Amino acid sequence: MTHKNIRIVSLIPSATEIIATLGLSKAIVGRSHECDYPPEIANVPVCTQARLNSNAPSNAIDNDVNKILQSALSIYKIKFDVLEKLQPTHIITQDQCDICAVSLPEVEKAVTQLTHSSPQIISLQPNTLKDVWGDIERVGHAFDVDSVKILENLEARVRICNRKIQGLFITEMPTVACIEWTDPLMMAANWIPELINLAGGKTLFSVTGKPSAQLDWKTLVNTNPDVIIFMPCGFDLQKTHEEAKLLTQRPEWQKLHAAKTGRVFVTDGNAYFNRPGPRLADSVEILAEILHPDIFQYGYRGTGWEPL
């Protein structure tokens, strides 16, 4: 199949970014309602919609998600009529998290009902940074695109960051709590602990490759991290600022070491940390800037992160 005949529907933002990085933006004929990068895909038809209001506060979203999942529905609906019209040759989705995108069974069900096409489904399931680089290679392989140089470049950027912190003493490695959700309180995991370690921090509460877990507020207070970073899933900088207030208004907040020393930060988790694609290299650079501002100045402040 030549590149001209490829018609890709991407149902997850990270896959859209991977496809674009591989130079196949023009082959994307459909996308999810959450695919917002790179800018050139803005006019591509949208193939999904959410069954919940993603602009609601975090506890309302959490309640809605639980209700929908309990009723055995998917959080997202596929716009079947749009998919039928687009006649894709490939659909890229994921089977890692039912809250992040359309579930794999939902996609498989839709594909069996298509009459004008029988697309190949490529499903991504990354849990670590290595998995993400592996997905880029796998997607490249599926479309006969060489990903070697792209991966060399991404890996080199991460390595440069990590090399620069090799000279630091262990005492200069701050303990870091990365908050992925504020209500209920959840700590970011999967590839995030790895990114923290690569950028010169010590991860608290999370294990690389494992799902994000809920944390008791008292545990956060008692552990008293050096640095607190907000990176709620699906939220940009402005929304993250609002969500952070849920915790910063608590009476114990001011006693926290990170709050006293001005080492609390908000990030654009939607664009960077929660998206397992090429911009995880940017995410390592953002963390390096936050954790070691005397060594790193990449210029992400104001767009990727801000002090709270």
d(CA 285, CA 279): 10
pLDDT of 69: 54
Structural domains of the chain, with CATH = 3-125 (3.40.50.1980), 167-307 (3.40.50.1980)
Beta strands in 116-190 (DSSP E): 120-124, 175-182, 185-187
Spell out the residues 6+ positions from residue 170 whose beta carbon is closer than 8 angstroms to its own. Answer: none
Kind and range of the H or E element at 162?
helix 148-164
Residue 22 tokens read as: 């591989």
Give, for all 308 residues of the chain, the pLDDT tens digit: 556 689 999 999 999 999 999 999 999 999 999 899 999 999 999 999 876 656 666 666 666 656 655 554 556 788 989 999 999 999 999 876 555 567 788 888 888 888 888 899 999 989 999 999 999 999 999 999 999 999 999 999 999 999 999 887 767 899 999 999 888 899 999 999 999 999 999 999 998 999 888 999 999 999 999 999 999 988 899 989 988 988 999 999 999 999 999 999 999 999 999 999 999 999 999 999 999 999 999 999 999 999 99
User: How many residues make up the chain in this entry?
Assistant: 308
For every residue of 104-134, DSSP letters joined together read HHHHHHHHHH-SS--PEEEEE---SHHHHHH
Cβ atoms of residues 90 and 119 within 8 Å: yes
Spell out the residues 6+ positions from residue 141 whose beta carbon is closer than 8 angstroms to its own. Answer: 147
pLDDT of 64: 60
d(CA 123, CA 212): 21
pLDDT of 94: 82
pLDDT of 108: 85
pLDDT of 72: 47
Cβ atoms of residues 268 and 236 within 8 Å: yes
Classify residue 62 by burial, with Cβ atoms within 10 Å: 0-12, 13-18, 19+. Answer: middle
